[in-house]
Amino acid sequence: MTLGDLGHSEEHRRLERALEVAGLGEFEWDRSRGQFVVSARMAAITGLPAGPMPADSIRTLEPFIHPDDLAEFRAGVVSQRPAGGVYEFEFRQVRPDDGRVVWLRVAGVMTRNAEGRPLNITGIVEDVTARKLEEDQRQTLMAELDHRVKNVLATVQALAVQTAKRTTSLEAFLQNFGGRLKAMGSANELLTAARWRGAAIDHLAAAELGALAPGQTGWEGPELFLTPRAANALALGLHELAANAVKFGALSVDTGRVNLRWVRLADGGFELTWTESGGPTVSPPARRGFGSTLLEQVTGRELNGETGIDYRPSGVVARLRAGAAAVAPRPETVPEAPVARIAETVATSAGPANLRGARVLIVEDAVLLAMELETGLSDAGAEVIGPAYELEEALALLDQPIDAAVLDANLNGHSVTPVAEALAARGVPFVFATGYGEAAGAPGGFEAPVIRKPYDVTQVAAAVAELLQAHTG
């Protein structure tokens, strides 16, 4: 054996190791002899017998290709011929040894003689079944996401129309519609955290009541998870009850209280009871608003049950009875109960925030939201800095006097953390206005209030005013 033979042998061993590590099998098709040689690695991938097999033409190999992929394979052969003898295909194969269907990627290069006639094709085979399955799953998820987004948009549109029909002023519409959107957002946040397998009733109660009136609300009952449809319906129902309690009922005074209790039923469903006490004397409303209609009809039907409201003089009592179809199995991933940072579910009787003279930085990548924030904060008397839509824009604005800031957590894929760190180092307070549902609190672990999207801009203004008061006081 010569030194050249040793070198060639070592190079061959390196190539063998590389093919093995990459999970590739190799083949050689000798066109002049009509012989297709399958390596041991290719045999393991395809189920074909290792060694030579007769192959006079490309059609000899077609029986090993899934019938549904044959037309595309043949078209690929024709289209790739002018490319200089380099071929690449992806197709399904029914393995001859065990009948399994696998996806293969086949790539080869053709060598020709001096007259241009094909001599042989050398190439590799790769099992890409896992990648194809991931692509299929991704397409399925995208289709499901598209379906859910359209359903949400349709629901939002219906809420807007129905709310507008039953309100007499723009201010009332914005308040009612914004609260209902927030209730939907809270339910969807919980469902997303549980991978849309279900949402716990106690988490829905905490999201709606947790920040309303500390010490005046309570809820109890067994662990129960609702389907996505039922969770959204219950979130809207609880919102309507909470909004009414804040405006007219038990939560409109300091002495009032709301208790929420639910029990399992023998048929697999549940019954939830909302009880108000200690508030003003109650009488039935003179007219039925959309909130009552939504609660009694929509929520009841979506829960596959019924809803009833009793306007007792001592306080409103509402009962929601749900069928077994509304209850979901316990999901594998159960999110933590939401942490209430700011009372943002329904509007209170407090007056508008006063930000007169305050210099407030807005960092938000959604242009419409930034415009809304700018208008709302300006109406409250603030001098708006920005808005900044990109991380670089926000960092460039930090060299001027800033009293407070409103930060979106994510700016076109970039974390707002550098801006938050710079503001924290200067002692400038800020609030996060974000669509991310982080149960642990503020993004990045900062000690800062969090307002979840969708929000009413008056909530943001109130949060900024509270920050400034705490900072200066």
pLDDT (tens digit per residue) in 129-155:
999 988 888 887 676 666 656 656 655
The rounded distance, in Å, linking the Cα atoms of 86 and 287 is: 77
The rounded distance, in Å, linking the Cα atoms of 358 and 401 is: 10
Q: Which amino acid is at 154?
A: A
Length of the chain: 473
List the domain boundaries for the chain. 13-127, 147-328, 359-472
Instruction: Report pTM.
Output: 0.52
Quote the pLDDT of residue 91.
Answer: 92
Quote the pLDDT of residue 466.
Answer: 87
Domain 147-328 has CATH 3.30.565.10: yes
Helix axes 201-209, 170-193, angle to 10 degrees: 140
The position carrying tokens 């209790």 is 261
Quote the pLDDT of residue 372.
Answer: 82
The rounded distance, in Å, linking the Cα atoms of 404 and 467 is: 8
What fold characterizes domain 359-472? Rossmann fold (3.40.50)
Burial of residue 74, with CB atoms counted within 10 A of its CB: 0-12 exposed, 13-18 middle, 19 or more buried: middle
The rounded distance, in Å, linking the Cα atoms of 70 and 144 is: 30
- The per-residue pLDDT of the chain, averaged, comes to 80
Cβ–Cβ < 8 Å for 35, 52: yes
CB neighbour burial string for 381-409, b if at least 16 within 10 angstroms, e if fewer: bbebbbbbbebeebeebbeeebbbbbbbb
* Residue-level pLDDT, tens digit, the chain, 473 residues: 433 444 456 666 777 777 777 788 899 988 888 899 999 999 999 999 999 989 888 888 888 889 999 999 888 888 887 666 788 899 999 998 888 999 999 998 888 877 777 788 888 999 999 999 888 888 876 766 666 566 566 556 656 766 676 677 777 777 667 766 776 676 667 666 656 677 888 888 888 787 677 688 899 999 999 988 888 888 888 888 888 888 888 988 889 999 999 999 999 999 999 999 999 998 888 776 666 777 776 677 788 888 888 899 999 999 999 999 999 888 776 766 554 443 343 344 345 678 888 999 999 888 877 888 888 899 889 999 989 989 999 999 999 999 999 998 888 778 889 999 999 999 999 998 876 654 445 676 788 888 877 677 777 888 898 888 877 75
Peptide bond into 387 cis (omega under 30): yes
* CA–centroid distance for 280 within its chain: 41
SS3 104: strand
CATH number of 13-127: 3.30.450.20
The rounded distance, in Å, linking the Cα atoms of 406 and 411 is: 13
Cβ–Cβ < 8 Å for 366, 408: yes
Quote the pLDDT of residue 147.
Answer: 60
Q: What sections of 248-389 are H helices per DSSP?
A: 290-293, 300-302, 367-379
* CA–centroid distance for 443 within its chain: 16
* CA–centroid distance for 56 within its chain: 54
